Structure 1
Amino acid sequence: MIYLVGGPPRCGKTTLAKQMSKKFRLPWISTDTLENVAGAYWTKEELIKNRPYSELRRRDGDKSNDTFYEKYSAKKIISVLKGQSLPIFKAIEMVAVCEITDGNDYIIEGYHITPDTANRLVKKYGEEKVKVIFLTKQNAVKFARDVKKSSTPNDWLLVLTKKKETFLKVGKMIAEYSKYFEIEAKKYGFKVFNMDNNFFKQISKAIDYLK
């Protein structure tokens, strides 16, 4: 079984993958890793085209989240994140088909996994081979308040943010992005778990649903 875990950044996908991996001794990979592997084979022109979010951040020359979220709207940021997710489909499919062929269980997580991407894989390989969930967050205020609890080493959001108001802007972007995932997931009949409250309880519920 291939377990696909999608949703906006900062919604618990990696936490779920790590816990599920530890509990059931399953291998997992992040689509961020797949993007970096694919990027090693892209030309400079392809890198610019296939990574619009990364290119937007690089172009400004200022890594600060404060500057980035001051300059760009949530709509713009979501747009480039969506654009950056598309070129990774083939890499996601390649991992999935290799593990399906070998009869292995495997977890793939990341924002690159959209409801449309997941649906394409389910239609091609079957529900008995691919299982899908999405994690979302809608409470921007709670997100901004809780973000400092992160235990991720060198967390990009904490390291590159100085202003409190930026955390709220990031939270609002994630809430808006979550709406997209929830609407599209409903279209295809995929299960969505809201992670605003009882985070670790929701992680456990999501894992139970997948297994």
Structure 2
Amino acid sequence: MIFLLGGPPRVGKSIISREIQQKHTVSVVSTDTLGAVLENVLSPEATPDLFVFGKFHEMPMAERVKLIMKDPAELISYVRKESYVVWKAVEAFIRRENDEGRDILIEGVAILPELMGQLEDIPHRVVFIGNQGENHKENIKKSAEENEYDWMRGVSNRYIGAFAVFVKRMSGYIEQETMKYGFKYIEMDKELFGDVTEEVMKSLGLSTS
């Protein structure tokens, strides 16, 4: 079975996926990994949309904060453009795993509700998560502090606050899209993380015990 977990950055998709991996014999792959492969075989000239979000990360920190606070919707459009390119690799990977009869959980930002129609002929289960809470900044900060490899470790509180605004806005966008296309959306703000993990498992048809 193909399992899919989508949602904005910094909402816990990777952590939840590792929890699922520990409880079930299912491999986990991130769309970030597939995107990184594409970045090494495709050029910015040939596929500029693949690198548009990367260019955002290359901007000076102050400019990134300014862009997010001015118009989070613009950053969401960057993510969507990149996701459409990465999805080509994701879909090809899904079809290969399905042909081989393997169980796989794919998590990442590139899993968008609007793209799920391309998997109509593939048995799969999908759920989306997000966080529209006012205090999500503290969640992001805590997560970064606990992981020495986290790319947000050591960034300013101002940037974390701005990025939390983006996550909130994109979570709202994802929620609207799930309603439009008929998928499950789980809001993480009011629930304990363990409860969300169990709800994700149930939504994917997996045992929580």
TM-score using structure 2 length? 0.88
Unmatched segments (≥5 aa) in structure 1: none
Moved more, 100-109 or 72-81: 72-81
1:189 to 153, 160, 182: 182
| Offset, 1:43 | 2.3
1:145 to 138, 141, 144: 138
Give 1:8-157 correspondences, 5 Å limit.
8-46=8-46, 48-58=48-58, 60=59, 62=60, 64=61, 66-72=62-68, 73-121=71-119, 123-125=120-122, 129-139=123-133, 141-150=134-143, 151-157=146-152
Q: Secondary structure in 1 aligned to 2:4?
A: strand
Distance across 2 between alignment mates of 1:71 and 1:175: 15
Deviations along 1:13-32, one digit per CA (max 9) or x if unpaired, are 11111111111021110000
Asked whether the equivalents of residues 48 and 55 of structure 1 are also in contact (C-alpha less than 8 Å), the reply is no
| Offset, 1:47 | 5.0
Asked whether the equivalents of residues 39 and 47 of structure 1 are also in contact (C-alpha less than 8 Å), the reply is no
Asked whether the equivalents of residues 8 and 177 of structure 1 are also in contact (C-alpha less than 8 Å), the reply is yes
Asked whether the equivalents of residues 65 and 158 of structure 2 are also in contact (C-alpha less than 8 Å), the reply is no
Moved more, 8-17 or 66-75: 66-75
- Structure 1 residue ranges, 4+ long, deviating more than 6 angstroms after superposition: none
Asked whether the equivalents of residues 49 and 81 of structure 2 are also in contact (C-alpha less than 8 Å), the reply is no
Q: Percent identity?
A: 27
Distance across 1 between alignment mates of 2:5 and 2:88: 16
1:177 aligned residue: 170
| Offset, 1:78 | 1.2
Asked whether the equivalents of residues 4 and 118 of structure 1 are also in contact (C-alpha less than 8 Å), the reply is no
Asked whether the equivalents of residues 16 and 207 of structure 1 are also in contact (C-alpha less than 8 Å), the reply is no
| Offset, 1:90 | 1.5
**Partner letter of residue 16 of structure 1?**
I
Asked whether the equivalents of residues 51 and 83 of structure 1 are also in contact (C-alpha less than 8 Å), the reply is no
Distance across 2 between alignment mates of 1:133 and 1:44: 31
Asked whether the equivalents of residues 27 and 103 of structure 2 are also in contact (C-alpha less than 8 Å), the reply is yes
Cα distance 1:34–1:46, how it changes in 2: closer, same or farther (>3 A)?
same
Asked whether the equivalents of residues 76 and 170 of structure 2 are also in contact (C-alpha less than 8 Å), the reply is yes
Distance across 1 between alignment mates of 2:183 and 2:142: 29
Distance across 2 between alignment mates of 1:135 and 1:199: 11
Quote the RMSD (CA, aligned, Å): 1.6
2:158 aligned residue: 165
Unmatched segments (≥5 aa) in structure 2: none
Number of aligned residue pairs: give it. 200
Deviations along 1:110-131, one digit per CA (max 9) or x if unpaired, are 001100112321x232xxx110
Distance across 2 between alignment mates of 1:53 and 1:26: 30
TM-score using structure 1 length? 0.88
